[in-house]
Structure 1
């Protein structure tokens, strides 16, 4: 199916993909700037990748091929830097709905 229409992705974010831990803390890949997204900064209760209930203060919808694993850093349009709690691809094979990636941020 098709991707979420680009005209709906009104915001731009920067993503530093999480690549693992080192002796000095988390490691991130090079930042990808200008990623088209739709950002909603609202408080929601969600589950993180370990299944714990946590609070998400921003939700980001972006193209399904965006590389943004859990623990990545995202700079929101407001300039706030946040951590990714979970990223869930939304697909519906055979249905006429666009595919996207939903990212829940700390």
Structure 2
């Protein structure tokens, strides 16, 4: 049985607009959805989806199943709008650790 990250840890709210692809007029995004999350606005070096080293200025942890492909728009609790660099779905079936989704933001 897989457990999810406990709701009491998710103290913040973020708004995610999933990236749908590019059009002739620029990037397209899906409708915004609000999610409970744990947000840390700290600077970290990460690798983006192409393997290039870049800087993340915010890390977001939510419950599993978040729809947030790389390049999605994320509005943080501070009101700052950023872009998703990488998305990791953490699961550990059979182990006593919670499943979660981690988004590293630009």
TM bucket normalised to smaller: over 0.9
Give the count of matched residue pairs.
105
Residue correspondence of structure 1 range 1-106 to structure 2 within 5 A = 1-33=2-34, 35-106=35-106
The alpha-carbon deviation at position 94 of structure 1 amounts to 1.1
1:39 aligned counterpart, secondary structure:
strand
- Provide, for residues 35-94 of structure 1, a one-character-per-residue CA deviation record: whole Å limited to 9, x for no partner: 100000000000000000000000000011111110000000000000000000111111
Q: In the aligned structure 1, how far is the partner of 2:101 from the partner of 2:81?
A: 19
Q: After TM superposition, what 4+ stretches of structure 1 lie above 3 angstroms from structure 2? A: none
- Unmatched runs of 5 consecutive residues or more in structure 2: none
User: Please, what is the CA RMSD of the aligned residues?
Assistant: 0.5
Q: TM-score scaled by structure 1?
A: 0.97
Q: In the aligned structure 2, how far is the partner of 1:68 from the partner of 1:37?
A: 13
Q: TM-score scaled by structure 2?
A: 0.97
Q: In the aligned structure 2, how far is the partner of 1:24 from the partner of 1:83?
A: 18
